[in-house]
Amino acid sequence: MTVSALARGRWAGLIVVGALALTACSPAPAHPPSSGVTLPPSGAVPDYQLGGAYAPDPEVGIVGRDRSAEPVPGVYSICYVNGFQTQPGELADWPRDLLLQRGGEVVFDPDWPDEALLDTSTAEHRDRISEMVKPWIDECADAGFDAVEFDNLDSYSRSDGSLSFDGNLALASLLVDAAHTAGLAAGQKNAAEDAAPLRARADFDFAVTEECAAYEECEAYTSVYGDHVIDIEYADELPRSFAEMCADDASPAAMVLRDRDLVTPDDGAYVFETCG
């Protein structure tokens, strides 16, 4: 399960800065959601519960949970799906030829060594990967989730050139289409440098970000998705106080401070703080 962008390589920082110079002063383009899809409520308090489900605070209006969990009744619920890498413990569920390989060895995420990269390099592979993921999307819809977020869209950046953005974009388009067909809004997860093409060409509806305020890249998302950006900051390495982040006009209105492992309230490491 991927819970933090901090552990990822941040090679795209210069690209993001350049993109912000072009887009920060421009409003998000008109891009109505697909028919039958409900977007996350603008500015609602979010909670991120990938480390374990629990009853959210009454002020919470958006909750993200793993696809193995149930949605929260009466709260906008987002279903986490790892669409571009294998989940821990699920490697054996995947045909070996759909796993990226180099020299006959499966390629794993260097920061999450129990997650293998999926091979998105061919249309045939992408079609088969989407057929593996689509039942999870349908299960999210059947369980009552409102939306799905697809993680590791930027796996190509950790493939040493074996994968490409275009290949991941093509798979993303298949997954977003499957989400919309199931009646779910589709959320881009991280990948700030790719926000504009992911929305324009894959038809994502909103974004879920990790630490966009810490890395000063929130405008890469808000310039594309407007008010429909949900940001999770982590308490262990804040470059400034969370109160300062909340007061920053560049920060999304829907923002929460969590502990990096996203533990439940009965754990001493639990952190949950909002901007209210």
Residue 36: its pLDDT value, please? 78
The tokens for 50 are 């990938």
Domain holding 201, by residue range, is 37-274
Q: Is-contact 275 246, C-beta < 8 A?
A: yes
Extract the tokens encoding 93: 């569920």
Note whether 3 and 232 are within 8 A (CB).
no
The verdict on residue 264 lying in a domain is: yes
| pLDDT computed for residue 273 by the predictor | 98
Q: CA separation (Å) from 131 to 98, 158, 171, 178, 241?
A: 12, 24, 11, 10, 44
Whether 75 is in a domain gets the answer: yes
Task: Answer whether residue 7 is part of any domain.
Answer: no
> How many domains is the chain partitioned into structurally?
1
Could you say which DSSP state residue 95 is in?
-
How many whole angstroms from its chain centre is CA 57? 22
Q: Is residue 14 part of a domain?
A: no
Residue 16 within any structural domain of the chain: no
- Full pLDDT tens readout for the chain, 276 residues: 444 443 333 333 333 334 433 333 344 444 555 557 999 999 999 999 999 999 999 999 999 999 999 999 999 999 999 999 999 999 999 999 999 999 999 999 998 899 999 999 999 999 999 999 999 999 999 999 999 999 999 999 999 999 999 999 999 999 999 999 999 999 999 999 999 999 999 999 999 999 999 999 999 999 999 999 999 999 998 999 999 999 999 999 999 999 999 999 999 999 999 998
Residue 30 included in any domain:
no
pTM attached to this predicted model: 0.89
Those residues whose C-beta lies under 8 Å from the C-beta of residue 109, and which sit 6 or more positions away, are 85, 115, 116, 117, 152, 155, 158
In a domain? residue 18: no
CB distance 32 to 81 below 8 Å: no
Q: Is residue 61 part of a domain?
A: yes
Please state the φ and ψ torsions of residue 77, each to the nearest 5 degrees.
-115, 130
CATH code, domain carrying 229 = 3.20.20.70
CA dihedral for 139, 153, 171, 187, sign (positive or negative): positive
